[in-house]
Structure 1
Amino acid sequence: MASKLISVLAIAIAVLPFFTHPSLADVPPSSPVSPGTLCKDTPDPSYCKSVLPHQSTNVYDSARLCVRKSLSQSRKFLKLVDKYLSRRSTLSISAIRALEDCRFLANLNIEFLLNSFQTVNANSKTLPTLQADNVQTLLSAILTNQQTCLDGLHDTSSTWSVRNGLSVPLSNDTKLNSVSLAFFTKGWVPKKKEGNTRQPKSKQFAFRHGRMLLKMSARNRAIYESVSGRKLLQTENNDIEVSDIVTVSQDGQANFTTINDAIAAAPNNTNGSNGYFMIYVTAGNYEEYVSIAKNKRYLMMVGDGINQTVITGNRSVVDGWTTFNSATFGKSLKPSASLS
């Protein structure tokens, strides 16, 4: 995702016009350069130049402009999707499902862009690695969401005119967000040192002998050991803290009989200061479609093991479902849940 960029000082370009047109690799992000230089190493230079002002500008201002435009375009796209959905009586079930996916993903993208803009608008410097990674993940997720929307329209709506009305604006939105991501990578993402690919400790789960190290109260420990049949290992400073635990079992002997009911009971918008909310799902085949909403943060789900706890379903594109909605397990936002 990182942009490859070169540079020659702007003054040198003016004095020596016979120099090769520079790319952006070595240009300081705060230095004003021509749109041609800014856009040369973006995924679509021609499109990039069409959205930037004609005068010289820098990476930071260009990124802010592109993120603002992306936000505006995403809102317009959402209104367009709603317009088509208002005529759902004339659409097939598969078309409606594809549009509903696009609406859900467009709303997510708007939230991701708002969060990203808050960061780029407040800073004109390289960010700490974790903060830069978070924004880079959001901007990358937007591109994935747009492609998922487009795939759903193509897979389920091959004969209806709505697809054509959405494909072009969606394609342009994808180009614009690609430019935003390229500029953000150049201006805010720290250059990674060669060979340094280790993740921060805060993003790693602690394991010993193939088992996750968990830290919890005596009450929660008793519940966990009773339902899992496993003793917790001795705790250490880097163990994963568990704030509460609920259990799921199909025999009615647990807190819940379905995974979705357990998720609904989890607290909303927690900050993780007290640890994860654990849902322990005992062995069985759970025929349900599990979706973890973005407000269900710091949620951990643990099962009895491979081929023991199974989540299954039978949705398929052949039956009019989109690929996006055929998944039996999904979550809306990166920090919301941990799966084990």
Structure 2
Amino acid sequence: MSPKLISCLFSISLFILLPFYAFPSFADISPTTSVSSDTICHYTPDPYYCSTRLPHNQYATVYEFGQHSVRASLSASSNFFSLVDKYLNTPSSPLSNTAIGALQDCKFLAGLNVDFLSSSFQTVNSTSQILPSMQADDVQTLLSAILTNQQTCLDGLQFTASASSVTNGLSSPLSDGFKLYSMSLALFTKGWVPEKNKGTWQPGRNHVTFRNGRLPLKMSSRNLAIYESVSRRKLLQSGDEQDGSGNFTTINDAVAAAPSNTNASNGYFLIYITAGVYAEYVSIPKNKGYLMMIGDGINQTIITGNRSVADGWTTFNSSTFGRNSSLGILPAIYH
């Protein structure tokens, strides 16, 4: 195998329609119109559950109901984190290493959910109007990631037969949390997301929307030229958009070189991974936001490892590619 080369580009400003669950249309209700809780609940995934969580028969705007829902979600996520921590520190019976690993994964994911909801609540509590597209996308991404984290925790517990008592004790708050977070996502989408950003997504379909085989990117003509040159396997070697090194030999080294604590206004940091087999476990730190990775294609750029559940690893920790925070990262894109 020829030497691997990983190159990085800065300031790739783009917009991608982010996925979210397909909810009934809110077209007949304005976010600023005062409506009853029963009315608004008909536009959430589980109206009956919604009616038990919102103030009964009270009138408020979508913004006020949304703020209430996200606040309740934050409280629920904090309580779940404490519950998992209690199981870890004071188990009712001895736990296997696999069970402990599954609980540690759940605690880690619950901690992320607390962070995501804290950030989301700060946003929804600060304004009662439609957000700019990029900011709305960020919060939508966080609220969507919370649902994924819930399912990942549950999957790990269900693979742990020795922790049936723990699974039984956590299944109800996991299920309740999933419904509550879904409700918050629905209300946020109605009140704060621009109409043009409201797409549909169904489980089992690709999360990124392609049009005629291409991503619907929005960027400057200069950045678009850089992206397209990379897509054609011809990395642009001139201009101030490139960091000038282009000689990383591991993906983790390239991730480490990415700027920390960035924001959307500065664009994305693009990591171009050429063909090769990368035997490493890539875990992107929480402070490395707004990354985009492009490989040389299926069966060309390969990230591989040998961890498995059979060897004692949890499902969550057996993956070769992971992210400690979903804010601002895009999926790997293969051409």
User: For the superposition of Structure 1 and Structure 2, which TM-score range results when normalised by the shorter chain?
Assistant: 0.7 to 0.9
1:203 & 1:320 partners in 2: Cα distance? Answer: 48
Q: What's the counterpart of residue 163 of structure 1?
A: 167
**Contact conserved, 1:248 with 1:279, CA < 8 A, in 2?**
no
Q: What's the counterpart of residue 55 of structure 2?
A: 53
Q: What's the counterpart of residue 241 of structure 1?
A: 241
Q: CA deviation at 1:300?
A: 5.7
Residue type at the aligned position of 1:202: M
Q: CA deviation at 1:276?
A: 6.3
**Secondary structure at the counterpart of residue 212 of structure 1:** helix
When residues 244 and 320 of structure 1 are mapped into structure 2, their CA distance, relative to the original with a 3 A threshold, is same
- Percent identical among aligned pairs is 58
Q: What's the counterpart of residue 100 of structure 1?
A: 104
Q: What root-mean-square deviation, in Å, do the aligned CA atoms of Structure 1 and Structure 2 show? A: 3.6
1:157 & 1:50 partners in 2: Cα distance? Answer: 33
Q: What's the counterpart of residue 133 of structure 2?
A: 129
**Contact conserved, 1:278 with 1:299, CA < 8 A, in 2?**
yes
1:51 & 1:276 partners in 2: Cα distance? Answer: 38
Residue type at the aligned position of 1:232: L
**Contact conserved, 2:290 with 2:327, CA < 8 A, in 1?**
no
Q: What's the counterpart of residue 16 of structure 1?
A: none
When residues 305 and 52 of structure 1 are mapped into structure 2, their CA distance, relative to the original with a 3 A threshold, is closer
Does residue 230 of structure 2 align to residue 212 of structure 1? yes
Q: CA deviation at 1:170?
A: 1.1
Q: What's the counterpart of residue 326 of structure 1?
A: 318
**Secondary structure at the counterpart of residue 124 of structure 1:** coil
**Contact conserved, 1:244 with 1:278, CA < 8 A, in 2?**
no
1:145 & 1:213 partners in 2: Cα distance? Answer: 31
Does residue 137 of structure 2 align to residue 145 of structure 1? no
Q: Deviations over 1:158-210 (max 9, x none)?
A: 65311111110111111111111111112122223999x88451399735896
Deviates more, 1:80-89 or 1:296-305: 296-305
2:242 & 2:284 partners in 1: Cα distance? Answer: 18
Q: CA deviation at 1:308?
A: 5.3
Q: CA deviation at 1:264?
A: 4.0
1:3 to 19, 23, 30: 23
Residue type at the aligned position of 2:23: S
Deviates more, 1:301-310 or 1:29-38: 301-310
Does residue 268 of structure 2 align to residue 268 of structure 1? no
Q: Deviations over 1:126-160 (max 9, x none)?
A: 22333222222211111111111111111234653
Q: CA deviation at 1:307?
A: 4.5
Q: What's the counterpart of residue 328 of structure 2?
A: 335
Alignment length (residue pairs)? 295
1:201 to 218, 223, 226: 218
2:144 & 2:265 partners in 1: Cα distance? Answer: 27
Q: What's the counterpart of residue 184 of structure 2?
A: 180
2:162 & 2:95 partners in 1: Cα distance? Answer: 12
**Contact conserved, 2:157 with 2:163, CA < 8 A, in 1?**
no
Does residue 109 of structure 2 align to residue 109 of structure 1? no
Residue type at the aligned position of 1:325: N
Q: What's the counterpart of residue 219 of structure 1?
A: none
Q: CA deviation at 1:299?
A: 4.7
Q: What's the counterpart of residue 3 of structure 2?
A: none
Residue type at the aligned position of 2:247: T
Q: Deviations over 1:38-97 (max 9, x none)?
A: 101211111111111122222111110110010011011011111112247921121122
Deviates more, 1:158-167 or 1:293-302: 293-302
Q: What's the counterpart of residue 221 of structure 1?
A: none
Q: What's the counterpart of residue 29 of structure 1?
A: 31
Residue type at the aligned position of 1:206: L
1:182 & 1:286 partners in 2: Cα distance? Answer: 39
Q: Which has the higher contact order (CA 8 A, sep 6+)?
A: 2
Q: What's the counterpart of residue 8 of structure 2?
A: none
2:320 & 2:236 partners in 1: Cα distance? Answer: 30
2:287 & 2:227 partners in 1: Cα distance? Answer: 33
**Contact conserved, 1:279 with 1:300, CA < 8 A, in 2?**
yes
When residues 163 and 203 of structure 1 are mapped into structure 2, their CA distance, relative to the original with a 3 A threshold, is farther
**Secondary structure at the counterpart of residue 236 of structure 2:** coil
1:137 & 1:277 partners in 2: Cα distance? Answer: 18
**Secondary structure at the counterpart of residue 302 of structure 2:** strand
**Secondary structure at the counterpart of residue 211 of structure 1:** helix
Does residue 242 of structure 2 align to residue 288 of structure 1? no
When residues 184 and 260 of structure 1 are mapped into structure 2, their CA distance, relative to the original with a 3 A threshold, is same
When residues 49 and 310 of structure 1 are mapped into structure 2, their CA distance, relative to the original with a 3 A threshold, is same
Residue type at the aligned position of 1:101: D
2:82 & 2:331 partners in 1: Cα distance? Answer: 33
Q: CA deviation at 1:303?
A: 6.2
